[in-house]
Amino acid sequence: MMRTVLLRRTLALALLLSAAPLATRAQTVPSATDSANIRRIYNEALAQGQSYENLRYLTGQIGARLSGSPQAAQAVQWGQTTMEKLGLDRVYLQEVMVPHWVRGKPEKASIRGDKGKGVSLNVAALGGSVGTGGKLRAGVVEVQSLAELAALPEARVKGKFVFFNRPMNPLYVETGQAYGEAGDQRRSGAAAAAKRGAVGALVRSLTLAHDDLPHTGTMSYQEGVTQVPAAALSTMGADELSQLLKADSKLTVELEMSCQTLPDVKSYNVVGEIKGSKYPDQIITVGGHLDSWDLGQGAHDDGTGCVQSMEALRLLKATGLRPERTVRAVLFMNEENGNRGGLKYAELAKASNENHLAAIESDGGGFTPRGFNIEAAPSVVRKIVAWQPLFAPYGSGLLAPGHAGTDIGPLKGQAKALVGYDCDSQRYFDIHHTAADTFDKVNRRELELGGASMAALVYLLSKYGL
């Protein structure tokens, strides 16, 4: 009898163990049909993909498109027309007021030593910075961090440029992590410097590359604190300045920048939609940001995210895989210096009581896909991770919790899942926010594979929900 009971128990346990994964599989993991449909999506992208040619137009014919610029307005028109040509169910604009900062004449900077010798530096004003009002010449104090600055005696800082020279940490495999960590100097260095009586901030570019390209990016001031100019130095320039400072702590830097902030400008998010066949009220957003910094062509940041998002909808249409839930491609305005478009999108979604299932963003460049970063409750993350076998054959199977994206960030709490397109990150920060972020840096197949992986995820979300 003992043996029988034991045997029964063992059998029950075995049944339970084998039944559990089967039940999960039936709900979320995909059939052979899904696998075949996803193959069709990739086939269409690899043989007939249109995102690369769309990107060629956006970067080549329109180019850089900083918020408030005429090029940003042109890009809105282009986005609308391009989506209308896809024959979507609805294409529309969402009005949003955006900041309008202009760089003005190319910046100039040079180092002056005690013997009067000048070395010129490649610099770029940080976005949002005030100008110098002519030539601004001052001594320099170098620091590695905001904390080091805060600990310096006032006399060491007053009347000088604070030179923030902490490099990005090369030891992380994911470069975005190093970018995030080093970013405080760029974002709030000028305000911290001004608080201590400095006249400006010079910030080492946020890149692991050692070259002469300055990397711009957003910065902000603090209410009640004097607004002092802030410029990015190339990594080579930063190293040179640091070395010269060691030999001559009395050297000066002369900086000339004519950037300024003009009144806000009316702009738009561009939205294209395919209505869900079964659950039209449930919305899946897939997007990138249409604005870019003004120095390059905004190719990897974030032209690629825009064309991939539109391509995801085109791929569903071209393969006849009509989504069961509503799918929206959104080209967000003003990610770079305000995130007003992302905020507006979430605000309107809330005001209309929309039901957002998931939002996907591609804003890490158009490099070889790896997978997706997921921000959601653990149970929701598990559902998405269960689709891993469908992505693995395409090298896109890294599905894990992680940062999703800035534009979709404001949807947190409104959408069940926020998802970031994850691609190889080794080259992104070489060109990020520089004159080198141009179309020629984008590889056609990498870009199209990324769009296909986004379309495949949209397909699964639209079929199974979360």
Q: Would you tell me which residues interact with Zn ion (CB under 5 A)?
A: 301-302, 363
Of the two residues 302 and 422, which places its CB atom closer to Zn ion in the complex? 302
CA distances from 451 to 24, 100, 341, 445, 460 (A): 28, 31, 22, 10, 14
Closest residue by Cα to residue 274 from 264, 290, 285, 260: 285
The tokens describing 187, both together, are 């974002």
Of the two residues 44 and 301, which places its CB atom closer to Zn ion in the complex? 301
Instruction: Tell me which H or E stretch contains 94.
Output: strand 90-102
Report how far apart the first and last C-alpha atoms of the chain are (Å, whole number). Answer: 46
Of the two residues 256 and 301, which places its CB atom closer to Zn ion in the complex? 301
Under 8 Å CB-to-CB from 434, ≥6 apart: which residues?
124, 205, 207, 213, 214, 215, 216, 295, 296
In this structure, the number of other CB atoms found within 10 A of the CB of residue 5 comes to 9
CB of 355 to Zn ion, least distance (A): 27
CB of 167 to Zn ion, least distance (A): 22
Instruction: Tell me which H or E stretch contains 242.
Output: helix 235-247
Per-residue burial over 22-51, b if 16 or more Cβ lie within 10 Å, else e, is eeeeeebbbeeebeebbbbbbebbeeebbb
Rounded CA separation 178/208 (Å): 9
Of the two residues 167 and 176, which places its CB atom closer to Zn ion in the complex? 176
CB of 302 to Zn ion, least distance (A): 4
Give bridge partners of residue 269 from the DSSP assignment.
94
CB of 370 to Zn ion, least distance (A): 18
Which residue blocks in 121-229 are alpha helix, DSSP H?
146-151, 154-157, 175-195
Please count the CA atoms within 13 angstroms of the CA of 32 that sit on its side-chain side: 0
CB of 95 to Zn ion, least distance (A): 22
Of the two residues 294 and 302, which places its CB atom closer to Zn ion in the complex? 302
Residue indicated by tokens 């391009």:
82
Of the two residues 50 and 362, which places its CB atom closer to Zn ion in the complex? 362
Q: Which of 256, 335, 361, 375 is catalytic?
A: 335
Residue indicated by tokens 């967000």:
332
Of the two residues 354 and 375, which places its CB atom closer to Zn ion in the complex? 375
448 classed as catalytic: no
DSSP E strand stretches across 113-258:
118-121, 123-125, 135-143, 161-164, 200-204, 230-233, 252-256
CB of 308 to Zn ion, least distance (A): 13
CB of 331 to Zn ion, least distance (A): 12
Q: Which residues are catalytic?
A: 335
